[in-house]
Amino acid sequence: MRQSNSRILTKFIILVLCFSLTGCAGLQRKFVRKKKQQDRVAPVVTTRDYSKGLRVAELYKKHFLFWKAWQLELIDRLDAAYKKRVSCYDYTVDSLMEMKKYMRVSKAGELDPFIKDIESMESLIKKKRLTKSQKYKIKQVLERTRRQIEKKFSYEDVKDHLELQNTDDRR
């Protein structure tokens, strides 16, 4: 019995030494109160609209190119998915409205009939399924307006009629 007591005592001493050498940091952390973390103050970020600093001519050229790309994309994507067709239409009209914003009122008025022609196709373009005749009609109107707008509203033809309109209610 003495040997078993000495073995138990030896094992107990080894166990106590192991605990004392490794420490009880985990156990201690469990009972120590944690400091409250303060909410971080969100940084204030101010943004600037750098596009207003650009010259009107550069902005007009940019929106003219956007319109041209979106109109061609719309013509090419009449057979594509409904959402793609609708987004192309929306971007086309938005680009024309932006072009109009950079022209004098007299020249901007000349763009209105073309915008109305394209907007007259909205109900057809936004239909889920199009027949071949509807696609043909839309394509003809879009190609005709594209040719006429390119002819009458290219930068070379409009550069003398450019100025920034500050009113956003022209749409």
- Please determine, for residue 9, whether its predicted confidence score (pLDDT) is greater than 70: yes
* Secondary structure of residue 133 in the 3-state scheme: helix
Residue 107 CB neighbours (<10 A): 18
**Predicted pLDDT at 115:** 93
Q: Which of 97, 80, 64 is nearest to 139 (CA)?
A: 80
- Please determine, for residue 169, whether its predicted confidence score (pLDDT) is greater than 60: no
- Please determine, for residue 71, whether its predicted confidence score (pLDDT) is greater than 80: yes
pTM: 0.63
Rounded to 5 degrees, φ, ψ at 148 are -70, -40
Provide the pLDDT confidence category of residue 8 given band limits of 50, 70 and 90.
confident
Q: Which of 58, 60, 89, 91 is nearest to 74 (CA)?
A: 89
Average pLDDT over residues 111-124: 92
**Predicted pLDDT at 149:** 94
d(Cα 99, Cα 55) in Å, to the nearest integer?
13
Provide the pLDDT confidence category of residue 90 given band limits of 50, 70 and 90.
very high
